[in-house]
């Protein structure tokens, strides 16, 4: 049985706005990523997927605040640690994070090699510049990046190249877990494919043990990760293996989400895209019952008041609905038949 690289238990975090209002962005999220596995987090904008990524590092700065729960990275519980200790001993070594606009975070006045020197010297005081250069060159070659990039300034690189460089820098210290938050959504499709290829390569070569990949683009997620977790309004609504999640979702929200996938493939024009009416709830005042209740077509009176918990559906599958799996599937089949 493979080791669990990252385990999160009942993690809750919130934002405090400048009007002193609480926004409950991540609500009692539990997840576990095993060695050699990758987990994808999907959901609409504002569902808390980016906040979850930030929270996973245990490195909180206002307006984000920790509320409760535990984060265990490679056996180390980091939820009680001081931010400075987290930065020194966890970030980069155990867990690395690539934010949404990572490629714009490079200081334009410095060469790529300088960023690499910074990262390594922060952790290995006695490293020489020559050694660092050799190491960086080797790493870049393994990842299919030309070594000349090291001597260039960020502005001399294209967007896709910059993004791949940032990823290379963030895996310098061979972290166990890599969290990538929309690493390719600002890129054109070709660069996006290169980034994806690189991430897959990192996993296959064992340079990182596990990966968490966050995106709203479902076809992309399907092609990158082993497991998919769908979030809605700060909670997990369904989780399971990629293929089952995309082609055989259980939760009505996942069903709708997967039904809205557009790919340029034969048969798409005959598909009727699913629409979910309404908007997600305001996370300043989350609803008492099921958070999806007011947009759900199977809603029942008790949905509005009962706090629904995740139900196991075998094989690592879990979904958050009061209806049993069989009943939901039956309803989907009826709808299919009506068409």
Partner 1 sequence: MTTLTQPLLSARGVTKVFGFGRQKNTAVDNVDLDLYEGEVISIVGESGSGKTTISKILLGLLTETSGEIYFQGAKRDIRSHAKKQEYWKNIQAIFQDPFSSYNIFNKIDSVLLDCINMRGGRSLPREKKVEMMSEACSFVNLKFEELTNKYPFELSGGQMQRLMIARIFLLKPKILLADEPTSMIDACSRATILDELMHLRREIGMTIIFITHDIGLAYYVSDKVYIMEKGKFVESGSADSVILHPKEPYTRRLLNDVPKIYEEWDLTTV
223 binds partner 1 (CB under 8 A): yes
Exactly one of 48, 249, 252, 256 binds partner 1 (CB under 8 A); which one? 256
- Rounded to a whole number of angstroms, the minimum distance from the CB of residue 153 to partner 1 is 21
**Region of 89-97, 122-130, 191-199, 299-307 interacting with partner 1 (CB under 8 A):** 191-199
Rounded CA separation 85/303 (Å): 43
44 binds partner 1 (CB under 8 A): yes
Tokens of 103: 């490629």
Q: Please classify residue 325 by burial: count the beta carbons closer than 10 Å to its beta carbon, then call 0-12 exposed, 13-18 middle and 19+ buried.
A: middle
Q: Return the bridge partners of 8, or none.
A: 31, 71
Q: Return the bridge partners of 181, or none.
A: 214
263 binds partner 1 (CB under 8 A): yes
- Rounded to a whole number of angstroms, the minimum distance from the CB of residue 277 to partner 1 is 7
> Any idea how long the chain is?
339
Strands (E), 17-123: 22-34, 38-42, 64-73, 76-77, 95-98
159 by DSSP, 3-state: which?
helix
Exactly one of 58, 222, 235, 252 binds partner 1 (CB under 8 A); which one? 222
226 by DSSP, 3-state: which?
coil
Exactly one of 81, 241, 261, 331 binds partner 1 (CB under 8 A); which one? 261
Identify which of residues 273 and 288 has a Cβ nearer to partner 1 in the complex. Answer: 273
Distance of CA 254 to the CA centre of its chain: 16
**Region of 9-17, 59-67, 133-141, 195-203 interacting with partner 1 (CB under 8 A):** 195-203
| Chain positions contacting partner 1, by CB under 8 A | 44-45, 188-190, 192-194, 196-197, 200, 216-220, 222-223, 246, 256-257, 259-269, 273-277, 279
């Amino acid at each position: 049985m493979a080791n669990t690289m990252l385990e999160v238990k009942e993690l809750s975090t919130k934002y405090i706005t400048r009007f002193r209002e609480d926004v409950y962005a991540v609500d009692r999220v539990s997840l576990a990523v095993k060695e050699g596995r990758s987990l994808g987090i999907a959901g609409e904008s504002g569902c808390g997927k980016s906040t979850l990524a930030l929270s996973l590092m245990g490195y909180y700065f206002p307006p984000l605040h920790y509320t409760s729960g535990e984060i265990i990275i490679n056996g180390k519980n980091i939820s009680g640690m001081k931010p400075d200790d987290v930065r020194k001993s966890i970030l980069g070594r155990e867990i690395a994070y690539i934010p949404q606009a990572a490629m714009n975070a490079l200081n334009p006045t410095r060469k790529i090699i300088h960023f690499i020197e910074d990262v390594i010297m922060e952790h290995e005081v006695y490293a020489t510049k020559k050694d660092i250069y050799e190491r960086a060159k080797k790493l870049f070659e393994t990842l299919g990046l030309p070594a000349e990039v090291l001597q260039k300034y960020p502005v001399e690189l294209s967007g896709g190249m910059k993004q791949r460089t940032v990823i290379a820098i963030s895996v310098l210290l061979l972290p166990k877990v890599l969290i990538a938050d929309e690493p390719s959504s600002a890129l054109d499709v070709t660069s996006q494919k290169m980034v994806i290829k690189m991430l897959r390569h990192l996993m296959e070569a064992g340079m990182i043990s596990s990966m968490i990949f966050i995106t709203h683009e479902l076809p992309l997620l399907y092609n990158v990760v082993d497991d998919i977790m769908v979030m809605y309004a700060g909670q997990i609504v369904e989780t399971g293996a990629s293929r089952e999640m995309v082609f055989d979702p259980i939760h009505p929200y996942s069903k709708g989400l997967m039904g809205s996938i557009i790919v340029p493939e034969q048969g798409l024009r005959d598909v009727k895209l699913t629409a979910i009416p309404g908007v997600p709830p305001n996370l300043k005042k989350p609803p008492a019952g099921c958070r999806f209740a007011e947009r759900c077509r199977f809603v029942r009176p008790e949905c509005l008041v009962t706090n629904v918990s995740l139900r196991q559906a075998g094989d690592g599958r879990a979904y958050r609905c009061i209806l049993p799996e069989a009943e939901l599937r039956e309803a989907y089949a009826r709808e299919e038949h009506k068409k």
